[in-house]
C-alpha cells in the first residue's frame, strides 16, 4: 500500500526538474536540426517562469531544497549532452508532478516505465534509430558531410556486390577466418577443458595461463605478436631457422603455396588465406582460447557425474565416454561458441590494424571491419561504408538463422 506523501513544495520541484530536462532535450533536437530554433526560446521563457515561481515558493516554504532544485534545473538546462540520460528522470518527475497519488496498477505502470525508460531511450537513440539511419545512408550517393548527397537507390549495393573486388576479398578472408578459427578453436578448447577437468595438479596455474590472453588488450597483444612475427628479428624466424625470410608479406594463399610444387594452380578465394592472414588467425586463436576453455569447463561441470559412472559400469572406454556423453551434452555450449565465433569473425579489426595497418600486401589481410573502417573513416564515404554494414548485418542474420535451424536439430539439450 502506498501511503500519501506530503510535499512541502507541492509538485513544483518535480515539474521544474522535468521542464529543465525537456529543455535540454529540445536543445538536443535543435542542435540536430529536428526542431526550429525558436522552440528553444519559447521553452526557455516557460522555464524561466517556472523557475521564478519555484523560487518564490521555495523562499516561502523550504529554502534549501528549493534552491538546490533551482541550481539543478539551471545546471541541467545548460548541459544538454546529458539530456539523453536524464530524460527518463524528467519524464518521471513530470508524471509524478501531475499524478501524485497512484493506485496499485498506476504504480506498476509508472515504475515499470520509469525503470525501463533510461535503457530503452538509450537503445533507441544509439542503436535502433542509428541502424535505420544506416539503412537510409546506404541509399545515398557518397554522403560525407560535405556537399549535397542525393538519393541513389541501390547504387551502392550494386557497386559493392558486382564491381568491388576488395569487398569480396574481405568477405573471403572473413569466411576463411570462420572456417579456420571456429572449429580449431572449439576443438582445442574442448581438449584443454577436458584435461583441466580431470584431477590435475596446478589446475589454477594452468587455467590462469590459458585465460590471461583473453583479458589482455588486443592492441598490446598484437604488438607482441607482430614482434614475434617480425621478418628480421622475430622469434618465429629464429624458431623456424630461417632468419631474414620476409614470409609475412607473402601475398599468395597458403593452399596455392602448398600445391604449387605439385603443379596445381589455385586462384582467388581457393588459394586460401595468405600467410600473413594465417598468422593473424593464429594470434586470434591464442587470444580467444582461454575464454572458450572457461565456457566449456562450465559446460562440462553441468554434466551430471552419474552418466560417467553408469558408463564406466557398462565398461565404456575413456574415448567412448567423451564421444557419447561429453560431446553430445556439450553441444549447447559448442553451439553458443560457434555462433559467437561467427559473429566475432565479422568484427576482427584491432589485430589486423596493428599488425598490417594498410591491410597487408595486396590487401591480403583485409577484413570486413577494416574495409568498413577504411571506406568510412579513411575515404570518408559514409554511404558506401553503410552499405557494407547493412550487407554484413544481412549476412550475419541469415547465417545465424540458418545455423540455428540446422544445428538446433542436432544439438542435444539435457533431458
Partner 1 sequence: MKLEFRSVLARFLVYAVLSVGAVAMAFPFYWMLATSLKSPQEAQQTQPIWIPERLKPANWMAAARLGAQGGSALWGGYEAGRTVTLRIYTGVQGQKPRVSIPTALGAFSDPRAEGSLIRIRYAEGYWEISFTNASSESFRLLPVVVLLSKEYVGYRPELPPDAVRSSGDAWRLEWVNVAPGALGYIFHNYREAWSAAPFGRYFFNSFFTAGTQVLVGLLLAAMTAFALARIDFPGKGVVWLLILATLMIPGEVLLIPNYILLSRLGWINTYYALIVPWLASVFGIFLLRQFYLSLPNDLFDAARIDGASYWTQLVRLALPLSVPGLVTYGIFTFLGAYNALLWPLIVTDKPEMYTIQRGLQVFIGEAGSDYGALMAASTFSILPIVLGYFFAQKQFVQGIARSGIK
Strand partners of residue 274: 253
| Site residues (CB under 8 A) for partner 1, limited to 231-270 | 232-233, 235, 237-238, 243-244
- HSE-up of residue 412 (Cα within 13 Å, Cβ side): 10
Q: Please, which residue, 11 or 216, has the CB nearer to partner 1?
A: 216
Contacts with partner 1 in 77-136 (CB under 8 A)?
A: 81, 84-85, 107-109, 111-113, 115-116, 118-124, 126-131, 133-134
Q: Please report whether residue 4 would count as binding partner 1 according to CB under 8 A.
A: no
Give the range of 26-34, 56-64, 175-183, 253-261 binding partner 1 by CB under 8 A.
26-34
Q: Is 398 in the site for partner 1 (CB under 8 A)?
A: no
**What is the spatial distance between Cα 241 and Cα 412, in angstroms, rounded to a whole number?**
47
SS3 151: strand
Radius of gyration, CA atoms only, the chain? 30
Interaction between residue 28 and partner 1 (CB under 8 A): yes
Distance CA 98, CA 113 (A): 16
Q: What is the largest CA-CA distance in the chain?
A: 96
**Binds partner 1 by CB under 8 A, chosen from 17, 50, 289, 345:** 289
Q: Which of 25, 89, 271, 354 binds partner 1 (CB under 8 A)?
A: 354
Please report how the helices 275-301 and 331-345 are oriented relative to each other, as an axis angle in degrees rounded to 10: 150
What's the grid cell of residue 371?
Answer: 574495409
Closest CB to partner 1 among residues 42, 209: 209
Binding mask 370-389 for partner 1 (x = CB under 8 A): --xx--xx----x--xx-xx
Residue 1 CB neighbours (<10 A) = 3
CB nearer to partner 1: give 233 or 270.
233
Using the rule CB under 8 A, give the single segment among 9-17, 159-167, 179-187, 205-213 that binds partner 1. 205-213
**How far apart are alpha carbons 198 and 195 in whole angstroms?**
5
How many other CB atoms sit within 10 Å of the CB of residue 150? 9
Residues in the chain: 415
**One of 40, 168, 206, 255 touching partner 1 (CB under 8 A):** 206
Among positions 151-180, residues that touch partner 1 (CB under 8 A) are none
* Residue 310 contacts partner 1 per CB under 8 A: no
- Does position 219 interact with partner 1 (CB under 8 A)? The reply is yes
* DSSP-assigned beta bridge partners for residue 151: 140
367 neighbors 348 (Cβ within 8 angstroms)? yes
Binds partner 1 (CB under 8 A): choice among 137, 139, 152, 279: 137
CB of 112 to partner 1, least distance (A): 3
Examine residue 213 and tell whether it contacts partner 1 (CB under 8 A). Answer: yes
Whole-angstrom distance, CA of residue 351 vs CA of residue 217: 10
Q: Which of 46, 224, 402, 406 lies at the binding interface for partner 1 (CB under 8 A)?
A: 224
Residues within window 314-353 making contact with partner 1, judged by CB under 8 A: 318, 321, 332-333, 336-337, 343, 346-347, 349-350, 353
**By the 8 A CB rule, do 90 and 18 touch?**
yes
Least distance to partner 1 from the beta carbon of 252, Å? 25
Task: Give whichever of 62 and 343 is closer to partner 1, judged by the CB atom.
Answer: 343
The closest alpha carbon to 231, from 220, 222, 240, belongs to: 240
By C-beta, is 49 or 400 nearer to partner 1? Answer: 400
CB of 218 to partner 1, least distance (A): 6
What is d(CA 359, CA 170) in angstroms, rounded to the nearest whole number? 10
Query: What's the CA gap between 189 and 211, in Å, rounded?
Result: 11
- Residue 253 has what DSSP assignment? B
Amino acid at each position: 500500500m502506498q501511503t500519501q506523501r506530503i510535499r512541502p513544495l507541492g509538485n513544483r520541484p518535480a515539474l521544474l526538474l522535468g521542464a529543465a530536462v525537456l529543455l535540454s532535450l529540445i536543445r538536443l533536437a535543435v542542435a540536430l536540426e529536428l526542431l526550429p530554433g525558436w522552440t528553444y526560446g519559447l521553452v526557455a521563457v516557460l522555464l524561466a517562469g517556472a523557475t521564478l515561481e519555484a523560487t518564490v515558493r521555495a523562499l516561502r516554504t523550504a529554502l534549501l531544497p528549493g534552491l538546490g532544485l533551482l541550481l539543478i534545473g539551471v545546471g541541467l538546462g545548460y548541459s544538454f549532452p546529458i539530456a539523453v540520460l536524464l530524460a527518463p528522470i524528467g519524464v518521471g518527475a513530470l508524471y509524478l508532478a501531475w499524478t501524485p497519488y497512484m493506485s496499485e496498477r498506476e504504480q506498476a505502470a509508472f515504475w515499470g516505465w520509469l525503470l525501463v525508460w533510461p535503457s530503452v531511450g538509450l537503445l533507441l537513440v544509439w542503436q535502433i534509430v542509428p541502424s535505420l539511419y544506416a539503412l537510409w545512408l546506404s541509399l545515398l550517393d557518397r554522403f560525407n558531410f560535405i556537399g549535397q548527397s542525393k538519393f541513389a537507390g541501390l547504387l551502392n549495393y550494386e557497386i559493392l556486390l558486382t564491381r568491388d573486388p576488395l569487398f569480396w576479398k574481405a568477405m573471403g578472408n572473413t569466411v576463411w577466418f570462420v572456417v579456420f578459427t571456429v572449429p580449431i578453436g572449439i576443438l582445442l578448447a574442448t581438449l584443454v577443458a577436458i584435461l583441466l577437468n580431470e584431477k590435475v595438479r596446478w589446475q589454477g596455474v594452468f587455467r590462469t595461463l590459458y585465460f590471461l590472453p583473453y583479458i589482455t588488450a588486443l592492441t598490446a597483444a598484437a604488438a607482441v605478436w607482430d614482434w614475434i612475427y617480425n621478418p628480421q628479428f622475430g622469434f618465429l624466424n629464429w624458431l623456424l631457422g630461417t632468419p631474414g625470410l620476409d614470409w609475412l608479406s607473402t601475398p599468395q594463399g597458403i593452399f596455392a603455396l602448398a600445391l604449387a610444387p605439385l603443379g596445381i594452380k589455385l586462384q582467388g578465394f581457393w588459394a586460401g588465406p595468405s600467410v600473413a592472414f594465417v598468422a593473424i588467425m593464429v594470434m586470434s586463436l591464442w587470444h580467444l582460447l582461454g575464454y572458450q576453455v572457461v565456457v566449456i569447463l562450465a559446460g562440462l561441470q553441468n554434466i551430471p557425474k552419474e552418466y560417467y559412472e553408469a558408463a564406466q559400469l557398462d565398461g565404456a572406454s575413456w574415448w567412448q565416454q567423451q564421444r557419447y556423453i561429453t560431446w553430445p551434452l556439450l553441444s549447447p555450449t559448442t553451439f553458443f561458441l560457434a555462433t559467437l565465433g561467427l559473429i566475432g569473425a565479422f568484427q576482427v579489426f584491432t589485430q589486423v590494424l596493428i599488425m598490417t595497418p594498410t591491410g597487408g600486401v595486396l590487401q591480403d589481410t583485409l577484413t570486413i571491419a577494416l574495409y568498413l573502417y577504411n571506406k568510412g573513416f579513411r575515404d570518408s564515404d559514409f554511404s558506401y561504408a553503410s552499405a557494407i554494414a547493412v550487407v554484413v548485418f544481412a549476412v550475419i542474420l541469415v547465417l545465424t538463422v540458418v545455423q540455428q535451424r540446422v544445428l538446433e536439430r542436432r544439438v542435444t539439450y539435457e533431458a
